[in-house]
Amino acid sequence: MGTAGMIYQKSKSRKTALIGMIAGSFIMGIAAAIMNYFVLLPLYTAFMPMDEMIAAFAAFIPFIHSKLDVCIFSAFPTTFGKGILVSAITFALYKRLRPILKGQNP
């Protein structure tokens, strides 16, 4: 069970669902930054030197100067934003989809 699910299980309410979704998005962003730092960016160096990758990111985000900057200012916010977007869609649709998900007739 993920972060959002664990928080929601404590007290099943809209407020805890929202808190769980935000916390889950944050944890997902941290995991993405860590994976980018230790796994993905090093793998990409087979195709492009790290200095060129950092320069490419710096072309869009001027204050990026290192691999850590790429992870903090690109990977984390992008993944966190994606998590918030998916959470907002889930939050909006869940009430309508709940009977289907629970196996009940709508």
Using the Cα atoms of residue 49, residue 52, residue 63 and residue 28 in order, give the sign of their dihedral. negative
pLDDT greater than 90 at residue 79: yes
pLDDT greater than 80 at residue 1: no
Task: Give Cα 101 to chain centroid, integer Å.
Answer: 24
pLDDT greater than 90 at residue 37: yes
pLDDT greater than 60 at residue 84: yes
* pLDDT (average), residues 19-24: 94
**pTM recorded for the entire structure:** 0.85
